[in-house]
Amino acid sequence: KNQVEQSPQSLIILEGKNCTLQCNYTVSPFSNLRWYKQDTGRGPVSLTIMTFSENTKSNGRYTATLDADTKQSSLHITASQLSDSASYICVVPFSGYALNFGKGTSLLVTP
């Protein structure tokens, strides 16, 4: 069964601290993995797309890693800011067009 599982479900951190979000998937065959950020009341916005051959990809303070052998990905946020408060969604395609969405990790950054 194609699944995407994320952890933790929610996370609260202090401004300026780092955090890491996890994503495990069982989707096969695997082509790529995406991380989206969804602010409250808005649609998801793509942060990064990682293909099979990529282990690490950075986008500003966001760094995603991928281990295709263990089928795990992580999203590391450095020096968190209040604007990082959002839901972070891991997405893995399971066909040419369809996407499998995780339930997301809700991150709250507090002053």
Partner 1 sequence: GAGVSQSPSNKVTEKGKDVELRCDPISGHTALYWYRQSLGQGLEFLIYFQGNSAPDKSGLPSDRFSAERTGGSVSTLTIQRTQQEDSAVYLCASRRNRESSTDTQYFGPGTRLTVL
Residues contributing to the site for partner 1 (CB under 8 A):
4, 31-32, 34, 41-46, 49, 51, 89, 93, 96-99, 101-104
Closest separation between CB of residue 17 and partner 1, Å?
25
Closest separation between CB of residue 110 and partner 1, Å?
21
Is 83 or 97 the residue whose CB approaches partner 1 more closely? 97
Sign of CA dihedral 62, 67, 73, 79: negative
Is 80 or 90 the residue whose CB approaches partner 1 more closely? 90
Cβ distance 73 to 30 under 8 Å? no
Closest separation between CB of residue 54 and partner 1, Å?
11
